[in-house]
Structure 1
Amino acid sequence: METFGRGCLYIIIGIAVLLFIALITQSHINIPFIIAIPLIILAFYIAKKKTDEKSDR
């Protein structure tokens, strides 16, 4: 459950960064699914890796 929460947090932070960039540039940012899906998988992979490191201590 901790991995899911951490993964969601990483995704929310990523969306917030994209929103901030869009506000600064005053433009629309379109991300195709072929790029978004691997980024989501990467966020959960990094979250799992961090959770495993924490449980090893």
Structure 2
Amino acid sequence: MRPAVQKRLAGGAALAAVLLFLAANAHLLTVALRSQPDCRETAGAMPARRSC
């Protein structure tokens, strides 16, 4: 395999890994906010329930 092709494949794999990492974190944030919507902080107010 030529070095130019190898560099391109390595760059593509690194980009795919970063995109996968960002997508996983966005998914975790979405699930966390949907699981207890009453516990979200609104304009610096205290949580609706103490268990939040």
* TM-score, length basis structure 2: 0.50
Higher relative contact order (CA 8 A, sep 6+): 1
More helix by share: 1
